[in-house]
Amino acid sequence: MGLADLLKDELKALCVEHELATDGTKSDLVARLEPVLSWDNENDGNEAEEGPIEAEEASEGGNTASEGDDDSEQPQSDDAQFIHDTYMKVLGHGPDEGHMNHYCKMLLYGNMSRDDVTYGIENCMEALRLNAELSEDE
Protein backbone atom coordinates (compact mmCIF):
# COMPACT_ATOMS: atom_id res chain seq x y z
CA MET A 1 0.00 0.00 0.00
CA GLY A 2 1.38 3.40 -0.96
CA LEU A 3 0.55 6.96 -0.07
CA ALA A 4 -1.66 7.25 -3.15
CA ASP A 5 -3.90 4.53 -1.66
CA LEU A 6 -4.80 6.71 1.33
CA LEU A 7 -7.89 8.90 1.44
CA LYS A 8 -7.34 12.62 0.91
CA ASP A 9 -8.33 13.35 4.53
CA GLU A 10 -5.76 10.81 5.73
CA LEU A 11 -3.11 12.49 3.58
CA LYS A 12 -4.10 15.86 5.04
CA ALA A 13 -3.77 14.46 8.56
CA LEU A 14 -0.27 13.23 7.73
CA CYS A 15 0.61 16.64 6.28
CA VAL A 16 -0.56 18.32 9.48
CA GLU A 17 1.48 15.85 11.54
CA HIS A 18 4.60 16.65 9.50
CA GLU A 19 3.88 20.40 9.37
CA LEU A 20 3.29 20.43 5.62
CA ALA A 21 0.73 22.43 3.66
CA THR A 22 -2.65 20.70 3.35
CA ASP A 23 -3.99 22.47 0.26
CA GLY A 24 -4.10 21.11 -3.26
CA THR A 25 -5.12 17.87 -4.88
CA LYS A 26 -4.52 14.37 -3.57
CA SER A 27 -1.55 14.12 -5.95
CA ASP A 28 -0.11 17.35 -4.50
CA LEU A 29 -0.40 15.94 -0.98
CA VAL A 30 1.27 12.67 -1.99
CA ALA A 31 4.10 14.62 -3.66
CA ARG A 32 4.64 16.63 -0.45
CA LEU A 33 4.60 13.57 1.78
CA GLU A 34 6.80 11.24 -0.29
CA PRO A 35 10.11 12.93 0.62
CA VAL A 36 9.13 12.89 4.31
CA LEU A 37 7.68 9.38 4.53
CA SER A 38 9.30 6.30 3.08
CA TRP A 39 7.07 3.79 4.84
CA ASP A 40 5.75 2.18 1.65
CA ASN A 41 9.06 0.56 0.77
CA GLU A 42 10.07 -0.14 4.37
CA ASN A 43 6.94 -2.11 5.17
CA ASP A 44 6.36 -4.08 1.98
CA GLY A 45 7.66 -7.28 3.52
CA ASN A 46 5.77 -6.77 6.77
CA GLU A 47 2.23 -6.18 5.55
CA ALA A 48 -0.38 -8.90 5.55
CA GLU A 49 -1.48 -9.82 2.06
CA GLU A 50 -5.20 -9.45 2.70
CA GLY A 51 -7.83 -9.53 5.41
CA PRO A 52 -7.90 -7.74 8.74
CA ILE A 53 -5.04 -7.96 11.18
CA GLU A 54 -6.24 -10.34 13.86
CA ALA A 55 -5.41 -10.12 17.54
CA GLU A 56 -3.28 -13.29 17.24
CA GLU A 57 -1.14 -11.72 14.53
CA ALA A 58 -0.73 -8.55 16.58
CA SER A 59 0.54 -10.51 19.57
CA GLU A 60 3.26 -12.09 17.42
CA GLY A 61 5.02 -8.76 17.05
CA GLY A 62 4.55 -5.14 16.18
CA ASN A 63 2.63 -2.75 18.36
CA THR A 64 2.66 -4.73 21.61
CA ALA A 65 3.36 -3.52 25.12
CA SER A 66 6.50 -4.70 26.91
CA GLU A 67 6.22 -5.94 30.45
CA GLY A 68 7.10 -3.24 32.94
CA ASP A 69 7.19 -0.49 30.30
CA ASP A 70 4.39 1.92 31.19
CA ASP A 71 5.14 4.26 28.25
CA SER A 72 4.80 1.58 25.55
CA GLU A 73 2.00 1.45 23.01
CA GLN A 74 -1.13 -0.58 23.66
CA PRO A 75 -1.40 -3.97 21.91
CA GLN A 76 -2.68 -3.84 18.35
CA SER A 77 -5.91 -5.59 19.35
CA ASP A 78 -6.60 -2.51 21.47
CA ASP A 79 -6.06 -0.47 18.29
CA ALA A 80 -8.72 -2.55 16.53
CA GLN A 81 -11.11 -1.94 19.43
CA PHE A 82 -10.28 1.78 19.31
CA ILE A 83 -11.02 1.88 15.56
CA HIS A 84 -14.29 0.01 16.03
CA ASP A 85 -15.36 2.28 18.90
CA THR A 86 -14.49 5.41 16.92
CA TYR A 87 -16.52 4.21 13.93
CA MET A 88 -19.47 3.46 16.22
CA LYS A 89 -19.28 6.89 17.86
CA VAL A 90 -18.86 8.86 14.62
CA LEU A 91 -20.80 6.82 12.05
CA GLY A 92 -23.07 4.56 14.10
CA HIS A 93 -21.62 1.33 12.68
CA GLY A 94 -18.37 -0.60 12.71
CA PRO A 95 -15.75 -0.36 9.96
CA ASP A 96 -15.74 -2.65 6.97
CA GLU A 97 -12.87 -5.13 6.69
CA GLY A 98 -10.83 -2.95 4.34
CA HIS A 99 -10.96 0.14 6.53
CA MET A 100 -10.26 -1.86 9.69
CA ASN A 101 -7.23 -3.43 8.04
CA HIS A 102 -6.04 -0.07 6.71
CA TYR A 103 -6.24 1.77 10.03
CA CYS A 104 -4.75 -1.17 11.96
CA LYS A 105 -1.74 -1.14 9.62
CA MET A 106 -1.35 2.62 9.90
CA LEU A 107 -1.31 2.36 13.71
CA LEU A 108 0.83 -0.77 13.77
CA TYR A 109 3.58 0.77 11.63
CA GLY A 110 3.35 4.16 13.33
CA ASN A 111 2.24 5.97 10.18
CA MET A 112 -0.80 7.42 11.94
CA SER A 113 -1.58 8.23 15.55
CA ARG A 114 -4.95 7.56 17.15
CA ASP A 115 -5.70 11.27 16.75
CA ASP A 116 -4.97 10.95 13.01
CA VAL A 117 -7.32 7.96 12.76
CA THR A 118 -10.06 9.84 14.60
CA TYR A 119 -9.55 12.85 12.32
CA GLY A 120 -9.72 10.63 9.24
CA ILE A 121 -12.96 8.97 10.35
CA GLU A 122 -14.57 12.24 11.49
CA ASN A 123 -13.73 13.84 8.13
CA CYS A 124 -14.54 10.96 5.78
CA MET A 125 -17.23 11.54 3.18
CA GLU A 126 -19.78 9.46 5.10
CA ALA A 127 -19.28 11.47 8.30
CA LEU A 128 -19.45 14.77 6.41
CA ARG A 129 -22.70 13.66 4.76
CA LEU A 130 -24.15 12.62 8.12
CA ASN A 131 -23.21 15.95 9.68
CA ALA A 132 -24.73 17.84 6.76
CA GLU A 133 -27.96 15.85 7.07
CA LEU A 134 -28.11 16.49 10.82
CA SER A 135 -27.56 20.22 10.21
CA GLU A 136 -30.43 20.30 7.72
CA ASP A 137 -32.75 18.60 10.22
CA GLU A 138 -32.12 21.25 12.89
Contact between residue 8 and residue 28 where contact means Cβ atoms under 8 Å apart: no
- What band does 38 get if pLDDT is binned at 50, 70 and 90? low
Residue 125 lies in a domain: yes
The predicted pLDDT at position 4 comes to 81
Domain that holds residue 10: 3-49+74-137
pTM exceeds 0.85 for this model: no
In this predicted structure, the answer to whether residue 55 has a pLDDT above a threshold of 60 is no
Residue 11 lies in a domain: yes
Residue 67 lies in a domain: no
Q: Tens digits of per-residue pLDDT, 7-23?
A: 888 888 888 877 778 88
C-alpha span between 6 and 30 (Å, rounded): 9
